[in-house]
């Protein structure tokens, strides 16, 4: 098994939600963390505080990973502080609900930059300095079965799945690349999607999942941790959705 103890993990979009849960799961295993948000100082400070409570060493880097410059800065800061990058979690993402004919160029560009370009740029910068390592891309079941009102987000998340396979082929055996595709998760974005349906969480879980429960950030974090540690899996995607994809198919 690949051990993250003493290794350096970079987690984009880790000020809250899934990113924070992933950072804490890695920190609990002894990894050193580089956490990131675009502007959320208070959020990354809270993530750092929680990491400190479990004895994990960390730094926070405010950077827009939807840009090449932001990703380059993030990886440079990691190298300056810790001297290596061993694990990259491409978690940053943005979903803006708009029906297709209501989209404008600003929304299209913003969603693609945050939810797809960030993974391309950060992976490109990280693989330049990685000796051996692991990359995990945070996709979504929206990349497998597109959601109404989330067309561009769905395009980005399906792109993440293709990117995962392409990088896995090109970077092996030095770097393993896998993806996790969550369903609706108990986060700010997930809660907003449930609200759009006009139901509460309990009703949503009963109607739209097989297991009758909404996925938590911690559920997703455990799937990420499994893929990071398993040395014989690459180019694959794990769906974590309580059976939501099957209900919707």
Rg (CA), the chain: 17
The DSSP 8-state label assigned to residue 146 in this structure reads P
- Tell me whether strands 237-240 and 8-11 are parallel, antiparallel or unpaired: unpaired
The DSSP 8-state label assigned to residue 215 in this structure reads B
- Tell me whether strands 32-37 and 87-90 are parallel, antiparallel or unpaired: unpaired
Q: How far apart are CA 42 and CA 160, in angstroms?
A: 29
Q: How far apart are CA 194 and CA 185, in angstroms?
A: 10
Q: Please check whether residue 2 is in contact with residue 27, taking contact to mean a CB–CB distance below 8 angstroms.
A: no
The contacts of residue 41 (CB under 8 Å, 6+ apart) are 62
Burial, 205: exposed, middle or buried (Cβ in 10 Å; 0-12, 13-18, 19+)?
Answer: buried
Q: How far apart are CA 135 and CA 148, in angstroms?
A: 29
Residue 153 is among the residues annotated as catalytic for this protein: yes
Write out the E strands in the chain: 8-11, 32-37, 58-62, 87-90, 133-138, 175-182, 237-240
The residue annotated as part of the active site, out of 97, 121, 153, 208, is 153
Q: How far apart are CA 79 and CA 167, in angstroms?
A: 22
Q: Is 199 helix (H, G, I), strand (E, B) or coil?
A: coil
Structure tokens at 238: 């794990």
The catalytic residue positions are: 153
């Amino acid at each position: 098994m690949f051990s993250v103890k003493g290794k350096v993990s970079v987690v984009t979009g880790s000020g809250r939600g899934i990113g924070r849960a992933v950072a804490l799961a890695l920190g609990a295993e002894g990894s050193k963390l580089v956490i990131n948000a675009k502007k959320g100082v208070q959020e990354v400070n809270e993530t750092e505080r929680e990491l400190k409570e479990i004895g994990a060493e960390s730094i926070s880097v405010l950077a827009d990973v939807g840009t090449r410059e932001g990703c380059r800065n993030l990886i440079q800061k990691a190298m300056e502080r810790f001297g290596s990058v061993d694990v990259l979690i491409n978690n940053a993402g943005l979903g803006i609900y708009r029906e297709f004919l209501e989209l404008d160029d600003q929304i299209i560009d913003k969603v693609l930059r945050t939810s797809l370009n960030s993974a391309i740029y950060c992976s490109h910068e990280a693989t330049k300095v990685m000796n051996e390592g692991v990359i995990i891309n945070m996709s979504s079941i929206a990349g497998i079965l597109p959601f109404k009102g989330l067309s561009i987000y769905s395009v980005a998340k399906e792109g993440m799945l293709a990117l995962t396979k392409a990088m896995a082929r090109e970077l092996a055996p030095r770097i393993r690349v896998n993806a996790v595709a969550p369903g609706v998760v108990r986060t700010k974005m997930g809660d907003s999607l449930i609200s759009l349906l006009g139901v509460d969480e309990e009703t949503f879980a009963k109607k739209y999942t097989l297991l009758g429960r909404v996925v938590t950030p911690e559920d997703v974090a455990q799937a990420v941790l499994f893929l990071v540690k398993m040395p014989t899996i690459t180019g694959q995607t794990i769906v974590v959705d309580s059976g939501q994809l099957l209900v919707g198919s």
